[in-house]
Chains A and B, each alone.
Chain A
Amino acid sequence: MSSRALRQPLSLRLTSNIFLAFWCLVAAFPIVWIVVMSFKSPVDAYDSNALNVIMGPATLATGNGLSVLDIILGIVVIWGTVIVATKKLPSMVLSYTKPGQHWFGWIIGVLALLIGFLVVFFVVLPAVLNVLNPLFGPLGRDVLGLTTEHYKTVWVDRGFSSNFRNSLIVTAGVVTVSLTVGTLAGYGLARSGSTLAFWILIIALIFRALPHSVLVAGYLPVFINSAEWLSPILGDNAPTLYGKPFAVIAVLVAINQPFTIWMLRSFFQNIPAELDEAARVDGCNHFQAFRRVIMPVMWPGVITTGLFSFLLAYNDLLVTSLLLDAQNQTMVPAIVGMFNRETTTTDQVVAVAAAVSITAPLFFLVMIFQRQIVSGLTAGAVKG
């Protein structure tokens, strides 16, 4: 709004900002609220007074709580970590690694930071606070009820860690395979102006609209009986595809393919075709041009598309709940069993803790990759 003619009156700006604040509240409230609930005892979590839910008197009464000092020092440690991560880490990575190997430096750096944070936050800090709290009188007394027992129940007793591992396997598989297959296809489609390419894209668009239940209805009988019809090819130890993670990976990759190729195609169209033409003039064939010229510059687009593949695989409920058996169950279908069970309020808060556990990785994902997600959302749309 550089122009004077378009300057807005103060009242309008004020109203606009109030509405924006209201929207942010609406957007964040449900998520913030379940995070708060997950740390409280059931009595507090389901209290009808909002203040009681936040302060947690019943949780405090059982001896779980934080003092003012705890809160202050905790915030200081988290703030310090954020400062180190955003200010110090990039320059350190750049100075300690050779050009071209920055990614390796980043992995080491992030891991070191993560381990350092965990050690300081969960080992050093409690030990220091145990000594300090009695010394500070009223400041050292517990004021905010907070308990992590529900998380212990979820991860240790309910075996959520094995669900987490299965989710990890499925998402990692889906992201790798769908990017490998999709990148090639996206590049091919972006560089070919043929009618065939156009029709592949249109059919992919139609495939994107299909309800996933239609596809699963097609897989189920085939997967359950797969040992029978695979045995002529593979012999007696033909696998039953039903319940196997690799079968689900293949299915999710295929479901995701239409979206992936559309998105990657629009990214590849932004890379000037002159680049690979120059490489072709210098004597590369198409594959060499792709490998030597395109691959070094394609990563922003690939990372963005990978994020969306990750989200699809991570968030999927329908396919995983129907095609995986109990021992290979991923996190999202597992939580359905948790909250649908005939439950006490304790079980419900445990389900809340599980829900927060599922959300936490997504939260960090948005924090780190916000720019890529936004560019991904707009790439498909603005370029048509």
Chain B
Amino acid sequence: MNFRTFAAFVGPSVFMMLLFIAFPLVSVFKQSFYITQPIYETVEVETCTPGFLTQTCTTEEVSQPKLDEHGEVITRTEYVGLQSYLNVLEPERAWRAITNGEWNVLSTIDFWKALRFTVTFTLITLPLVVGCGLGIAVLINNAAKSIKGPVIFVSLLPFIITPLIGVLSINWLFRGDGILTATMEWWLQRDIALFAQAWTIEILMMLYRVWHVAPFAAIVFYAGLQTVNQDSLESAVIDGATRWQRMKYIVVPHLMPLIIFVSMIHLMDAFRTFEEVVGFSSQGYVISLQWLTYDFLVPDQAGNRSISRASASAMLTMIGIVILLIFPLRRTWRDHKGGH
């Protein structure tokens, strides 16, 4: 295929990706160094209240946004360097908290709080997802042929459901005196409030995430299990390998590329966790990095969106993803080069 035909086929797609992914990236990078604000002016306002004999008048200085001839607020964009990053990171306070060892102070700064949660969330759910996925895949593989179809159907439900609705359905089971909280209270004979402190909410969020992603991992691993070499399994049995040893030395190494694939997809997706915070309405206790950016982008009570701070936190989130993915990517890169 010559270059012109190739370009004609691929062109529209590349154009869309450039326009809607690469260009916004560049513009976010640029925005994070600029800040757009309304210009304020100080005016003397005289307010008079009617009184006996004379009015009592007070003049005070009020700062108000300047308006142009159409009555719209004049804004000015200026270069502020790293100021937006500093606003998000608050490095001085953070550093003081770290040197004094006051971790609870560090967690009052939104960004560090979000970073702490996002990273622990990603890293704790990763082995759980891979483990559960592998377990379910082995179970499905063991099952009788006639029930495999229905079982896969049921397993797909948590994966296919709208993430927000999935979070909400878990939320409704536990919120207040939801059915599972009530059952737990009856079992333990004590009052349980799962939404009153951060760590229980975090556990629920991780539970949801594993419930949501494990089916995906399971289906992928199940497909991989179909291609395990039966002869090597049989020779392992003849050599006296136990079930566990066969699993460890034959099946898992065979599935290794798939495990890396699932882990990479999971790392990407878990690091941008967002629906959990909205669905559990946990912004008072637990927030994630992507939610932080979202929160900056939502207009506040005065109708202003803090675009530059959002851009800064978005760039910082991206740096996080790059750091997280650099090791698995380097590994696949080496495998790719070694394979050819």
Contacts and interface: CB of A to CB of B under 8 A. Distances in A.
Given A211-B317, A377-B219, A20 B20 contact: no
Main secondary structure of the interface of B (DSSP, over half): helix
A24 B223 contact: no
A358 B162 contact: yes
Contacts of B154: 24, 27-28
Contact of B272 (A29, A31, A33, A211): A211
A128 B155 CA distance: 38
B38 interface: no
Contact of A209 (B151, B234, B268): B268
A302 interface: no
**Quick one: which of B19, B165, B211 has the most chain A CB within 10 A?**
B165
Interface stretch (A68-76, A112-120, A153-161, A188-196): A188-196
A132 to B, nearest CB: 33
A197 interface: yes
B17 A257 contact: yes
Interface centre among B161, B216, B261 (most CB of A within 10 A): B161
B9 interface: yes
Nearest to A188: B9
Contacts of B317: 211, 213-214
A83 interface: no
A281 interface: no
B252 interface: no
Contacts of A352: 172
A160 to B, nearest CB: 14
Contacts of A20: 136, 139-140, 142-143, 151
B157 A366 contact: yes
B14 to A, nearest CB: 7
List 3 tightest A-B contacts by C-beta distance, closest first.
A218-B24, A188-B9, A254-B20
Contacts of B168: 34, 335, 339, 351, 355
A346 to B, nearest CB: 14
Given A16-B139, A16-B143, A381 B258 contact: yes
A215 B27 CA distance: 9
27 contacts: A6-B233, A6-B234, A12-B243, A16-B143, A20-B142, A28-B154, A30-B211, A31-B158, A34-B172, A48-B186, A50-B179, A185-B12, A185-B14, A187-B9, A188-B1, A213-B293, A215-B21, A217-B28, A217-B314, A218-B25, A218-B311, A219-B24, A315-B162, A317-B163, A340-B281, A358-B162, A359-B161
Contacts of A285: 5
A127 interface: no
Contacts of A88: none
Interface in B62-117: none
Interface string A14-53: 0011011001101111110110010000000010111001
A214 B28 contact: yes
A208 B325 CA distance: 12
A3 B21 contact: no
B206 to A, nearest CB: 14
B52 interface: no
Given A192-B1, A217-B297, A255-B20, 19 more contacts: A16-B143, A31-B161, A37-B172, A182-B13, A184-B12, A188-B5, A191-B1, A192-B6, A209-B321, A211-B321, A218-B24, A219-B20, A220-B297, A286-B9, A314-B162, A366-B157, A373-B160, A377-B223, A384-B257
Contacts of A314: 162
B293 to A, nearest CB: 4
A179 to B, nearest CB: 11
Given A184-B10, A315-B162, A381-B220, A221 B25 contact: no
Contacts of B152: 370, 374
A211 B155 contact: no
B278 interface: yes
A204 B257 CA distance: 20
A211 to B, nearest CB: 4
A261 B11 CA distance: 12
Contacts of B129: none
A318 B237 CA distance: 52
Q: Which of B13, B14, B140 has the most CB of A within 10 A?
A: B13
Contacts of B24: 214-215, 217-219, 222
A27 B318 contact: no
Nearest to B320: A211
Interface centre among A30, A50, A203, A374 (most CB of B within 10 A): A30
B273 to A, nearest CB: 10
Nearest to A367: B153
B119 interface: no
Contacts of A254: 16-17, 19-21
B182 interface: yes
Interface string A345-383: 000100110010011001101110010011001101110
Contact of A218 (B28, B149, B216, B305): B28
Interface string B184-227: 00100000000000000000000000010001100110011001
